[in-house]
Structure 1
Amino acid sequence: MTTLPVPAATTAAGPRPDLEFTVHHRPAPQGSKRHVGGGRLLEQSKRVKPWRDAVDTAARAARVVNHIGDVPVHKPTLDGPLSLEVVFTVRKPASAPKRRVTWPTTRDSGDIDKLLRSTFDALTTAGAIADDSRIVEVSARKVHPGEGLDALETPGAVIRVWRLLEAVAR
């Protein structure tokens, strides 16, 4: 008997994300680390920490469902098998054509797997997901500002997370 993942929550229009938010900041890939002595490793890119902080802040804000006085009440941390969709809006190079849509394939736009790595870690530190090992399905793409579905007008990302339930294949 084979089991297939299916979204836990659905609407008439289709699966409804359990968490959805937008990050307005330049996406940064989490790449290699460099050894600085004494067993310490530092991130090579100075852009990673600000990106992770921006994702963390946006995820925490998206999780707030109510307030008791000044204390925010958050949605629970998503656990179990998760599906994630991310659309990264990256800067369009000055050399790219201005009047037509182009794909972000330059080195400056970042490797999509490394963009995902920094984003996954930020979702975990924000308490949005229990651990990035829970992500079993990913859809990710890079677009330039204003060019394509879910493209923002400035660099950033649209992030959606679904909890998956097990379903029996027929």
Structure 2
Amino acid sequence: MTKPAFEITVHGTPGPQGSKNRNAAGALYESSAKVKPWREAVKSAALDALAYDEVWQPIREAVLLAVVFTMPRPKGHFGSGRNAGVVKPSAPQFPVGKPDTDKLLRSTQDALKDAGVLLDDSVVTDVSAAKRYVLTGPDTLSHPGAVVRVWCLNAFKEPTS
């Protein structure tokens, strides 16, 4: 596979975007308090990556967005006492609970758009996403966060003669 057009590592707890609640006045707000810090973390990492690229333009063509979200393990997955740092054998291998992968992608895509990586999140035509626990596989981090890669799909076209 070719080199990604854009790649970052984001540090922080991934936050889902999409579920809304209403307050007493009827105004809508995000149900997860993690959305805003997560979007800021993604935007900040993206802006740092683009800081020295004076010719960067937001991507306007079809892209493949690949993200591996590293989620924190719940405290209940660990032993107690002298086994406090050891994952229990009964702990699940994959994070199957909330947040939903599609809602994590939504907040990440919007942050990439806000940072100027993508012209709009509608240019994302192909997606590869995974939720994993800390240090449990390829591209997982030693702490919560995500590895984000963007490939321009037009780069995969065969040259015409």
TM-score by length of 2: 0.83
Residue 105 (structure 1) aligns with: 96
Per-residue deviation, residues 10-30 of structure 1 (Å, max 9, x unmatched): xxxx31000000000100111
Q: How many residues are matched?
A: 147
Q: How does 1:9-24 map to 2 (within 5 A)?
A: 14-24=1-11
Q: 1:142 aligns with which of 119, 131, 139?
A: 131
Unaligned stretches of 5+ in structure 1?
A: 1-13, 67-72
Counterpart among 114, 117, 120 of residue 109 in structure 2 = 120
**Structure 2: how far apart are the matches of 1:26 and 1:154?**
9
Contact 2:71 2:145 in 1 (8 A): yes
TM-fit CA distance, 1:92 = 0.9
Could you list the per-position Cα deviations for residues 42-85 of structure 1 after superposition, in whole angstroms to 9, with x for gaps in the alignment? 2121110000000000011112235xxxxxx3522111101110
- Say if 1:88 and 1:158, in contact at 8 Å, map to a contact too: yes
Name the amino acid aligned to 2:95: P
Point out where structure 2 has 5 or more consecutive residues left out of the alignment.
Answer: 79-86
Separation in structure 2 between the aligned mates of residue 74 and residue 53 of structure 1, nearest angstrom: 23
**1:83 equivalenced with 2:74 (yes/no):** no
Query: Which of residues 21, 40, 65 is equivalent to 1:34?
Result: 21
Q: CA RMSD in A?
A: 2.1
CA shift digits 1:88-120 (9 cap, x unpaired): 00011222261667111133xx10000001111
By how many angstroms is 1:40 displaced? 3.9
Post-superposition shift, 1:41? 2.3
Q: Which region of structure 1 is more displaced relative to structure 2, 130-139 or 41-50?
A: 41-50
More strand by share: 1
Structure with the higher fraction of residues in helix conformation: 2
Tell me the SS of whatever aligns to 1:95.
Answer: helix
Equivalent of residue 76 in structure 2, options 95, 103, 108:
95
Q: CA contact under 8 A between 1:79 and 1:163: conserved in structure 2?
A: no
Distance 2:64 2:97 in 1: 27
1:56 partner amino acid: K
Runs of 4+ in 1 over 6 A off after TM superposition: none
Distance 2:38 2:28 in 1: 19
What is the TM-score of this pair, normalised by structure 1?
A: 0.78
